[in-house]
Structures are given as structure tokens and as C-alpha cells.
Structure 1
Amino acid sequence: MSDQFVIVGASLAGARAASTLREEGFDGGIVLVGAEDDLPYERPPLSKGYLLGKKERQKAFVHDAAFYEQQRIELRLGTRATAIDPAGHQVTLDSGESLPYRKLLLATGSSPRTLELPGGEARRIHYLRTIEQSEALGATLRAGDPVVVIGAGWIGLEIAAAARHYGCDVTVVETDRAPLRQVLGDEVGAVFRALHEAHGVEFHFDTQVRAFGALGDRLTHAVLDDNVEVPASAAVIAVGISPNVELARSAGLRVDDGVVTDAALRTSDPDIHACGDVASSYHPLAHEHIRVEHWANALNGGPAAARSMLGHDVSYDRLPYFFTDQYDLGMEMAGWFPRGGYDRVVFRGDPSIVDGKAPEFVAFWTRRGHVLAGMNVNVWDVQDDIQKLVRAGYTGKDVDLDRLADPSVPLDTLLDG
């Protein structure tokens, strides 16, 4: 059998896995296959610093080209894997070539969900997933024309903030009754609604775009379900992402909202691993499979998968972690809970928007006195304490919620006693 390791997905997760294999002493062949032409890069800048014109393009790349050459990591960019033969330990590429592998890692990520709408062939209708799409969107936003954003999730709201940065009139259309409600609930979702409204964003909730209006190929407006017409010279569709499971499914691997893995990131085939957006992995603390779409999961999941591929004892129990920057609000969040899986949000500090200024507070999602997740907003150097509280909550340790809400009580003392 070949001693070669193949990684499908030249992403942050894939690049981190490849470099970790070398760090751990693996001396065999490593091939990193990616559909995009660019070197592996990180995606947060695409809706944050790079989109805002505050970060240079090359800052998004995980490594420069010389790194891969020095580490003897073979890059196959602009190349798609089309099939996996688990029995023969082969990956087929779109060129017709087959790559043998001893171990295979799927880091194929996700793709934006699309909307097929009348008028959708008009110019300046954007999705955001790749660096080229970020550049095209940035060029549109810099024109300062009215923009409609479809979807009030994280990407939709970050794009809305970027559009306001460039002086665009912004309308956000969301099928739910509040932004981010599916991931944060009503209480904290209301904070983000107030933040954006304070910066001039107009929301339309409990509705959806059913068509675009255009003059020739130039977008002029969006038509909502209630026949309201929203003026727009550009649109961004940000209605979530779907894991790229096609390769795994056709290879007979177990798939259920992602490629299913155990805590060591092994799929149903012991010689195939998966990590990043595409993996639905068993979490040892949550005691169930969860799929995490955020940057930190790629950053940490790639190295964990690499070590598992090398036969190390791996139990990937990193807490889901996310951060965002919108206007003057900076936030970190750690933890996880299913939709509707909490019974109380505990605020430490006032989450109100005052005179348009973002607040400073910490929020905790709790259930029966257990901390499930925590978010620090414009409050720094507390994330380690938040993660300790979340880990304790997962193991069944409760905390005094009155003390949790009291800013005078140090977070690092809440687990004492």
C-alpha cells in the first residue's frame, strides 16, 4: 500500500492538517488537492477585514508558496476530486488521474445555499464563500448603492455592516422573526437587531424575497412575499451553507448532516478521516454529533485529524468557538446548545444599545443552572474563564445564576466550592 497521505480540500483545515503531519514527523508523501486556484486561505477576512479594505489579500493565506515546497507538500490546486475508491485506496481527480493513499482526509468544506428566483440573472447578485467573491462584493459595495441582504445570520450581518461602512443603504430580509435567532435565541438576537438599526439598517422579518426586479440586466429592486418592493442596486444572498458531502456519499461513507465521524475524526471507513465544516463529529462533552461551521473548528480540527491519521490517541473535544466584528462591536462566543436547548440567558452587564454605541456585556446560555455557552461582547480577557464554565456545565456542574450575573463576582471564582 502507498505511504502517501491525501488531503482533499486545500482549505485552512487541509493546510493545517498537512503542516501538522510534517510537524509530527511523517516523512511520506502528502498531496493537498483543492478546487480553487489560490493557495489555502482563511475565510473570516472575506466578510471582515479584507472586505472592509483593512487587510491585504496575502494576509488571508495560511502559508506562502515556499512553505509547501519546503515541507514537501504537493499542491494540486484548481483540481477537483471526483471519486473515492475505499477498497482500492484511490482518489480520482477531474483530470482522470488516480492518487493512491494510505490515509485520506476529507476537508471539503461547505458551499453557499442558493436561491433560484425570477430576475436572478441580473448583475450584482452576490454570494460569499471564496476570495474572488469577496473581491467582487467589495467592488460592488464601494459604489455605495442600495443593497438588499437576504439572510440575517452571521455572514448576512457582517456584510450589512460592511455595506454601511461603504455608505450603502442596507435592507436585510429574513424569514425568521429576529436576526440570529436560530443560533442565539431571541434575547441576544435582539441586541444585534438594535445594533444594526442604530446604524441605519432596515429589517424585514417573517418574509422572503420572491423575485428581483431589473432594468435590462441591472438590478433595481427586490420583491418580498407581501409585495413590498425594496430598492436595491445590488443583492447578497446569505442563507446558510451546506456541507460538501458528495464525495463521501458516493464512496459509501456514513453521511448525516455532514460526514459522520467519531471523536477521533475517523469516518465509517477507518482509513478516511474528515474535519472542518464537512464533518459531523461526535463531541465527547456534548455526547452527540455536532457539525461546526466556524473558523476555529478548521484551525484546530485539521491538526487533530492529522494526529489521528498518524495513529495518535485523539479525542477532539474543542468547544465550538466563534467571533465577529460588526461596527464597534467585537464578540467571542464559546459553547453549543441545540435550538431552544436553553431555559435562561443570564446577562452580566447591560446589553442595551445607548446613543448608537455597542454595549459591554457577557451573556450566558444556561439550562437548569448549567452553563451551555457564553459570549463576551466588548469585554476582553475572559474567554478562558467562559470556556471553563461551559466545560463544567457540560459535565453537569451548576453555578449560582445570581452570582453569574453579578459583575463584581470574578468569573474564575464561580466554580469554587
Structure 2
Amino acid sequence: MTTNGGIVIVGGGLAAARTAEQLRKAEYAGPITLISDEVHLPYDRPPLSKDVLRAEVDDTTLKPAEFYDENNITLLLGSGAAELDTEAQTVTLTNGEVVAYEELVIATGLVPRTIPTLPNLAGIRVLRTYDESMALREHAGSLASVLGTEIGELVARLHRAEGVDVRCGVGVTGVTGTGHVEKVQLADGSELDADVVVVGIGSRPSTDWLEGSGIAVDNGVVCDIAGRTSAPNVWAIGDVASWRDAAGHQVRVEHWSNVAEQARVIVPAMLGRDATAAVVVPYFWSDQYDVKIQCLGEPKAGDTVHIIEDDGRKFLAFYERDGAVSGVVGGGMPGKVMKNRAKVAAAVPIADVLG
């Protein structure tokens, strides 16, 4: 058994790395242990589907190995968490090792959803880890449900302009091939030739290892406004965590910008110091060719959409819900999107932004 105690962080991404960094910045001098099922140092995930896949960047490591050595942070890589005992305050790893903790931070992020009925053929891939991104890059050499049909069509238009065959409103019924994927059958009876199939149907919180621990899980690890879970001395941060907001709602935000704000709250709270609730404006972006698609807030497909600008390629739109701004989405207009962050946070009346 590893008896180092101190603060144990389970996860190998941005949330785990930022928590460890903030702990040392807060002058916490006790042991810090970071556990990850990957063999890589904690790395940034958004570039995996962008710069890494385009072979523009190979390394997205957040901090070099020297950072962990200099800050006395123990890394346990290549073996993830398999079981949590909140009474004994221990985490059992997949290799059988047991790690004791005084405070535990769950930062396990997400795991990609899969299609169980797909056959076991080479060429069928998901994209979540660095290794998966590199494999897809070597081999290769859905927004409508989130943003609604109007903005989804603008994004689809962008792809069609680049020669992409966009099929909407039709599902996949099967994938066939001999050893390797060759054909994809669609629900409308059509069939597509395929060398590579990328399954991109979303992700779910990585909480399977918490089964039987007593930790409350409901679309993520349920937390209070400072990241405390239902078990003493256990906290959660990042994509896996559903934090209570100022209005009393449980909100799980899958955006990297959320992590830094949560880390600045969870660390002082964990150390028994004053902490203010995080003010989070959800944000994500996606590089589509030469156009950066950005979204601020939490727009829903049922919101009223006001398209403010549209030149045939670039666009800017406000989402309205109950008479207030619920989100801003832009394509190729980064400055105009980001300057509306405060308006989204304050849910200002839509009339104030439409003029």
C-alpha cells in the first residue's frame, strides 16, 4: 500500500494538472499524488481534434516532467483508479496498488460513447486520447443537437463549400468489411464507401469506478458550489463534475475554460480558506477550415435564434430564452463573440443587444 496520504488527484488532463498547480501556488506543502490511466504526462485535449490531427502539433503536454519534480508531485501513470473506499480513504488502482488520501480530487473527465452494435473492424475509431488522435492521423494521412437547426445549417453550409458530403436526418444501420471497414449502411438505404469511420456521438462522465463508493452521481459527480461531493474529503472538478450554481441548479460544464475558475475555488476550500463561488460562462470552440466556430453560454435548440451577421461564410448569432440572452455563437468572428461574455453571464434582455 502507498501510504503517502496528502492530496490525491485522479485524472490526467487539464483539471488534474491545474488543481496540482493551484495547490502549490497556494503554498500547500503536503504530498500531492496524481493518478492517470495514461502513460503520458497530463496534456491538453482540445488540440487533439485540431492541430494534432492536422499534423501541425505533436506535443500538447501541459507541464514538462521537471514541473512535477520541482514541485514534489508524485505521478502514478499507466494505471487508473478502479475503486474508491471513502471510509478507509483509499483508492485502488487497476494494477492492484492502493493509495491512501487525506483529500481526494476526482478529475477523471469523460469517456467517449460508443456504438455497441458496430463490428470489430480495423478503421473504426473514436477520438478522445492522444494515442487515438495520432492513430487516426496516421490512418487518415454533431452540432445541430446543440446549436439548433438554423446555426447547424450555417455550419453544414461551411462544410459543403469545402466539398464535404453532409448527411443530416439519417442514421447508421451497419458497418461492413473483411477485417477492415469498407462500407457504411445508412437508414435511408444508401451505402457509403469508407476507409475510416470516426464515431463522434458524444461522451459521458467517467464515473464507473465510483460504483459502490457512496459518491452521489447524477450526470456527473454531484458537488456543492465549491466542488465538495457527498462524501467527506472528496472533491470533483472539470468535465466529470456537476457543480451547484448560485441559483441552486446542478450544472456540468464540458469546457476547458471552466476548469481554471473551478480550480481557483476548490483549492482554497479544500485548504480551509475562504473561497468564492465560480462564475462560469460556458465556452467552446471548433476550428472548421479557416473559420473558428465559437459558442458562449448554454444555447439550446429550442431557443429563438437572431442571426445578426452572415456574409455567406462567417456569421454571428444571439440566442434568446425567456426574453434574455442565453448564448452567442459566431463563425469567424472571435472578437465579436468574446466581447459579449459579460452580457451572457448577466443574461441581459435580448432587446439590449439587438438595439
Verify same fold: TM over 0.5.
yes
Q: 1:190 aligns with which of 153, 156, 160?
A: 153
| Aligned pairs (5 A) from 1:26-37 | 26-37=28-39
Residue of structure 2 in register with 1:291 after alignment: 252
Secondary structure class of the residue paired with 2:339: helix
Secondary structure class of the residue paired with 1:381: helix
Q: Cα–Cα, structure 1 residues 363 and 311, in superposed 2: closer, same or farther, change >3 Å?
A: farther
**In 2, distance between residues paired with 1:64 and 1:110?**
23
| Aligned pairs (5 A) from 1:383-398 | 383-393=337-347, 397-398=348-349
Cα displacement string for residues 200-233 of structure 1 (whole angstroms, at most 9, x for unaligned residues): 111222222121121x213211011232111111
Q: 1:377 aligns with which of 331, 334, 347?
A: 331
Is contact 1:2-1:102 (8 Å) kept? Answer: no
Residue of structure 2 in register with 1:204 after alignment: 167
Residue of structure 2 in register with 1:54 after alignment: 56
**In 2, distance between residues paired with 1:48 and 1:304?**
30
Residue of structure 2 in register with 1:166 after alignment: none
Farther off after superposition, 63-72 or 244-253: 244-253
| Aligned pairs (5 A) from 1:80-119 | 80-118=80-118
Residue of structure 2 in register with 1:307 after alignment: 268
Residue of structure 2 in register with 1:137 after alignment: 136
Q: Cα–Cα, structure 1 residues 127 and 2, in superposed 2: closer, same or farther, change >3 Å?
A: closer
CA positional deviation for 1:320: 0.7
Secondary structure class of the residue paired with 1:346: strand
Farther off after superposition, 273-282 or 36-45: 273-282
Structure 1 stretches of 4+ moved >4 Å: none
Residue of structure 2 in register with 1:347 after alignment: 307
Residue of structure 1 in register with 2:73 after alignment: 73
Secondary structure class of the residue paired with 1:349: strand
CA positional deviation for 1:363: 1.3
Farther off after superposition, 29-38 or 241-250: 241-250
Cα displacement string for residues 305-350 of structure 1 (whole angstroms, at most 9, x for unaligned residues): 323322232312211111111112113221114552x2x2122212
Given residue 26 of structure 2, which amino acid in structure 1 is its aligned partner? E
Given residue 398 of structure 1, which amino acid in structure 2 is its aligned partner? P
Residue of structure 1 in register with 2:242 after alignment: 280
CA positional deviation for 1:187: 1.5
Percent identical across equivalent pairs?
34
TM-score of the two chains, using structure 2 as the length reference: 0.93
CA positional deviation for 1:385: 3.0
Residue of structure 2 in register with 1:254 after alignment: 216
**In 2, distance between residues paired with 1:316 and 1:21?**
17
Residue of structure 1 in register with 2:125 after alignment: 126
Q: 2:284 aligns with which of 313, 322, 336?
A: 322
Is contact 2:328-2:344 (8 Å) kept? Answer: yes
CA positional deviation for 1:299: 4.1
| Aligned pairs (5 A) from 1:147-162 | 153=142
CA positional deviation for 1:366: 1.1
Segments of 5+ residues of structure 1 without an aligned counterpart are 143-152, 154-179, 407-417
Secondary structure class of the residue paired with 2:8: strand
Residue of structure 2 in register with 1:226 after alignment: 188
Residue of structure 2 in register with 1:366 after alignment: 320
Given residue 66 of structure 1, which amino acid in structure 2 is its aligned partner? E
Is contact 1:15-1:302 (8 Å) kept? Answer: no
TM-score of the two chains, using structure 1 as the length reference: 0.80
**In 1, distance between residues paired with 2:64 and 2:51?**
19
Segments of 5+ residues of structure 2 without an aligned counterpart are none
Given residue 123 of structure 1, which amino acid in structure 2 is its aligned partner? A
Q: Cα–Cα, structure 1 residues 316 and 2, in superposed 2: closer, same or farther, change >3 Å?
A: farther
Q: 2:230 aligns with which of 268, 279, 288?
A: 268
**In 1, distance between residues paired with 2:264 and 2:64?**
19
Secondary structure class of the residue paired with 2:111: strand
Q: Cα–Cα, structure 1 residues 380 and 206, in superposed 2: closer, same or farther, change >3 Å?
A: closer
Is contact 1:111-1:129 (8 Å) kept? Answer: yes
**In 1, distance between residues paired with 2:350 and 2:94?**
55
**In 2, distance between residues paired with 1:213 and 1:110?**
28
Secondary structure class of the residue paired with 1:95: coil
Farther off after superposition, 39-48 or 194-203: 194-203
Q: 1:213 aligns with which of 160, 163, 176?
A: 176
**In 2, distance between residues paired with 1:204 and 1:278?**
31
Count of residue correspondences = 352
Q: Cα–Cα, structure 1 residues 339 and 308, in superposed 2: closer, same or farther, change >3 Å?
A: farther
Secondary structure class of the residue paired with 1:314: coil
Given residue 127 of structure 1, which amino acid in structure 2 is its aligned partner? V
Is contact 2:4-2:99 (8 Å) kept? Answer: no
CA positional deviation for 1:298: 3.3
Secondary structure class of the residue paired with 1:284: coil
